[in-house]
Amino acid sequence: MGTATDRPLVLVLPGSGYGQQAPLLWWTRAVAEQHDAEVLAPSWDADDDAGTDPVGFVERSVERALGGRRPDLVVAKSFGCCALPWAVRNGIAGVWLTPVCTLGSVAAASATDVAVGGSADPLWQPDAIGGGGARLQTVDGADHALEVRGDWRRSQRLQAEVLDLVEGRIAGLRAV
């Protein structure tokens, strides 16, 4: 952020099959806008390059989307969490929703990061995140979409709790 009058910039990154219109990212945008933050929400098509080098693909996509700007916070879902090494290198805090722990890209999560996954998601392996001091939150019964299959009401409540966490991080940008 430049001066006190600047709006914070929140970078919202999708998964490979979980786009900006999906609930967690849709509401993240709404929360950020309610807190007078600017939102940059790129989309992508996960092609062969994405499959062979997911971290490189996401990092290149992020750099193109930012065009030299620096976000104040990253909120990423699943495949978008491959931006975590880039964010750590650049000192940018993140909220990492259902990171694909099997890729190893989240091992560098730092104390400024929050990682959230569901206990019913085989890709959520909090032990793989390492000792960087990141806050880890497991959503009981939730799958990779942070939903509880067959129970939309519980899914909605659980996602609202996750969005409360996102809102806290976004609201905190104004306090910096």
Predicted local distance difference test score (pLDDT) of residue 163: 98
Range of weakest confidence among 103-112, 132-141, 165-174: 103-112
Q: Are 73 and 171 in contact (CB under 8 A)?
A: no
Rounded average pLDDT over 31-47: 93
Q: Is the pLDDT of residue 1 over 70?
A: no
Whole-prediction pTM = 0.93
% of the chain exceeding 70 in pLDDT? 93
Range of weakest confidence among 95-104, 145-154, 164-173: 95-104
Predicted local distance difference test score (pLDDT) of residue 116: 96
Distance of alpha carbon 88 from alpha carbon 74, whole angstroms: 11
Rounded average pLDDT over 51-79: 94
Distance of alpha carbon 155 from alpha carbon 152, whole angstroms: 5
Q: Is the pLDDT of residue 131 over 70?
A: no
Predicted local distance difference test score (pLDDT) of residue 71: 98
Q: Is the pLDDT of residue 73 over 90?
A: yes
Cα separations in angstroms, 69 against 64, 79, 134, 138, 164: 10, 22, 25, 32, 27
The 10s digit of each residue's pLDDT in 78-92 is 999 999 999 999 999
Range of weakest confidence among 42-56, 69-83, 106-120: 42-56
Q: Is the pLDDT of residue 174 over 90?
A: no
